[in-house]
Amino acid sequence: MERTFCMIKPDGVRRRLIGDIIARFERKGLTVVALDFCTLTQDQAERHYAEHKDKPFFAELVAFITSGPVVPMVLEGPDAVAAARALIGATDPLKAAAGTIRGDYGLRLSENVIHGADSPASAKRETANILPDCNI
């Protein structure tokens, strides 16, 4: 069993996609083991996207992710990191396959509905930053 960290972004919450997105993960067989509804602080957002801090879109990314409430969660299952990333689809919704969350719901790179950790180590770090009461 593995655990991963995913987070419905402010656009997904604004568009009332919370239930649909969680249902997709659950139907696949992943188990929600932690869940919250909160607005990220500037510090949390900057830590979350630290790997992109030198990119030209960093300020825009942080402004967007703090622009409204998000739904962070920890999902558990076999190969949970890869399984969740496969359900989420490619970073750019225009390139994401139909049937994936981004492929079905997104049109813009900057508003791609959901985040998924890219490794177990990232999942651990992101969970500690955003769901500090949850030990994964």
Contact present, 123 and 117 (Cβ < 8 Å): yes
Residues 6+ apart with CB under 8 A from 102: 88, 89, 90, 91, 92, 93, 96, 112, 113, 114
Question: Residue 74 pairs with which residues in a beta bridge?
Answer: 5, 34
Is 4 annotated for ligand binding? no
Is 64 annotated for ligand binding? no
Residues of this chain, 46-75, that bind ligand RTP according to CB under 6 A: 57, 61
Q: Rounded to the nearest whole angstrom, what is the least distance from the CB of residue 118 to ligand RTP in the complex? A: 5
Check binding of 118 to ligand RTP (CB under 6 A): yes
Cα dist from 122 to 25, 48, 52, 99, 116, whole Å: 19, 9, 14, 25, 9
Among 31, 41, 42, 91, binds ligand RTP (CB under 6 A): 91
Of residues 3, 24, 48, 115, which has the active-site annotation?
Answer: 115
- Largest Cα–Cα separation, the chain: 38
Q: Is 52 a catalytic residue?
A: no
Is 9 annotated for ligand binding? yes
SS3 130: helix
Among 110, 120, 124, 134, binds ligand RTP (CB under 6 A): 110
Tell me the catalytic residues.
115
- The binding site comprises 9, 57, 85, 91, 102, 112
Q: Provide the binding-site residues for ligand RTP, judged by CB under 6 A.
A: 57, 61, 91, 109-110, 112, 115-116, 118
